[in-house]
């Protein structure tokens, strides 16, 4: 399944969950009652949406250079955390152990959602990686403090102040990422530099590479034919022809790919 197809499937599923949740909420308002079954259904839908969002982020990270291992880890743990949370909802949080594990799972899913989305926004901009690791540190400390509060059911004023501080710093670093990204972008000065298009290069975050033979696009890209006999999927290309090809398209011949 291509990334475009996976994204389309996810958004269809997310929209369906939101519609179902809205219908349940409307029924509760019109009927004048909101029972435990309604609460379980809404909680389950929200949990599935959260875990699914984290899972999609993991799949996206797997396709990024330098983030494959992180993406694989997220893809593995997101469903596990989601199942734990659903089990606690079905159990109505009666089991203290299961409720504690669910609290930890929700915490980690939220942290992975923030850290994963930050990593996707950074992509291959190495100058922003220190900020990503700083954000990850604050999130890890926050998760540790929350876990300590969940399992020990104790915490003094210093504990909660430290948690509040790390959460605020996490939000601050996350919100500053696009600002720092803009500030770190420096215009090219001096003489033009040679690049090896066979290996690929990036210009302001956009990939540009020369593809020869057969290749599959990882994301939507502009494909420019450089020789006769080239093709993008089932579309034949003459020299100079250009098309916008979706992710998963197989290109053949000699083409210039912009965006992959």
- The backbone torsions φ and ψ at residue 203, rounded to the nearest 5 degrees and listed phi first, read -125, 110
Cα–Cα dist 56/182, whole Å: 26
Q: Which of 14-23, 80-89, 104-113, 239-248 has the lowest mean pLDDT?
A: 14-23
Neighbours of 151 (CB within 10 A): 14
Q: Are 176 and 62 part of one and the same domain? A: yes
pTM of the predicted protein model: 0.70
pLDDT of residue 91: 87
Q: Are 108 and 217 part of one and the same domain? A: no
pLDDT tens, 196-207?
887 777 776 678
Pairing of strands 206-216, 201-203: antiparallel
Does residue 188 have a pLDDT over 60? no
pLDDT of residue 155: 66
Q: Are 58 and 20 part of one and the same domain? A: yes
- Out of 184, 215, 245, a domain closes at 184
Cβ–Cβ < 8 Å for 138, 131:
no
Residue 36 located in a structural domain? yes
Q: Are 115 and 30 part of one and the same domain? A: yes
pLDDT tens, 16-51?
877 877 787 787 777 777 777 778 888 888 888 899
Residue 191 located in a structural domain? no
pLDDT of residue 186: 57
- Out of 134, 157, 184, a domain closes at 184
Average pLDDT, the chain: 84
Of 16, 85, 79, residue with least CA distance to 52: 79
Cβ–Cβ < 8 Å for 227, 254:
yes
Cα–Cα dist 260/258, whole Å: 6
Q: Which residue has the tokens 């398209």?
A: 249
Q: Which residue has the higher pLDDT, 189 or 257?
A: 257
Q: Would you place residue 63 in the very low, low, confident or very high pLDDT band (cuts 50, 70, 90)?
A: confident
pLDDT of residue 169: 94
Q: Which residue has the higher pLDDT, 168 or 62?
A: 168
Residue 192 located in a structural domain? no
Q: Distances from the Cα of 117 to the Cαs of 8, 16, 87, 114, 120, in angstroms? A: 18, 23, 26, 5, 5
Q: Are 23 and 150 part of one and the same domain? A: yes
Q: Are 7 and 104 part of one and the same domain? A: yes
Q: Are 173 and 208 part of one and the same domain? A: no
Residue 138 located in a structural domain? yes
Cα angle value 247/217/10 (rounded, 5°): 25
Q: Are 92 and 46 part of one and the same domain? A: yes
Domain enclosing residue 215, as ranges: 201-258
- Out of 132, 150, 184, a domain closes at 184
Mean pLDDT across the stretch 221-239? Answer: 89
How many domains does the chain divide into? Answer: 2
Q: Which residue has the higher pLDDT, 92 or 173?
A: 173
CA dihedral angle for residue 148, residue 130, residue 132, residue 136, rounded to 10 degrees: -10
pLDDT of residue 165: 93
């Amino acid at each position: 399944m291509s990334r475009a197809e996976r994204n389309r499937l996810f958004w269809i599923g997310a929209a369906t969950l939101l519609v179902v949740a809205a219908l349940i909420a409307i029924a509760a308002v019109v009927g004048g009652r909101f029972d435990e079954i309604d609460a379980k259904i809404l909680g389950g839908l929200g949990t599935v949406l959260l875990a699914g969002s984290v899972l999609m982020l993991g799949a996206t990270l797997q396709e990024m250079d330098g983030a494959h291992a992180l993406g694989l880890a997220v893809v593995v743990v997101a469903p596990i955390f989601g199942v734990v949370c659903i089990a606690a909802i079905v159990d109505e949080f009666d089991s203290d152990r299961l409720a504690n594990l669910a609290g930890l799972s929700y915490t980690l899913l939220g942290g992975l959602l923030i850290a994963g989305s930050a990593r996707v926004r950074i992509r291959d901009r190495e100058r922003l990686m220190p900020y990503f690791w700083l954000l990850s540190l604050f999130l890890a400390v926050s998760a540790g403090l929350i876990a300590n509060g969940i399992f020990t059911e104790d915490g003094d004023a210093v504990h909660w102040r430290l948690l509040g501080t790390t959460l605020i710093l996490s939000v601050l670093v996350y919100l500053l990422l696009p600002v720092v990204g803009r500030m770190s972008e420096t215009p090219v000065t001096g003489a033009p530099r040679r690049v090896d298009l066979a290996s690929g290069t990036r210009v302001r975050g956009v990939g540009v590479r020369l593809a020869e033979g057969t290749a599959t696009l990882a994301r939507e890209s502009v494909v420019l034919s450089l020789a006769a006999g080239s093709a993008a999927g089932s579309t034949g290309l003459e020299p100079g022809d250009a098309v916008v090809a979706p992710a998963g398209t197989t290109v053949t011949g000699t083409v210039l790919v912009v965006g992959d």
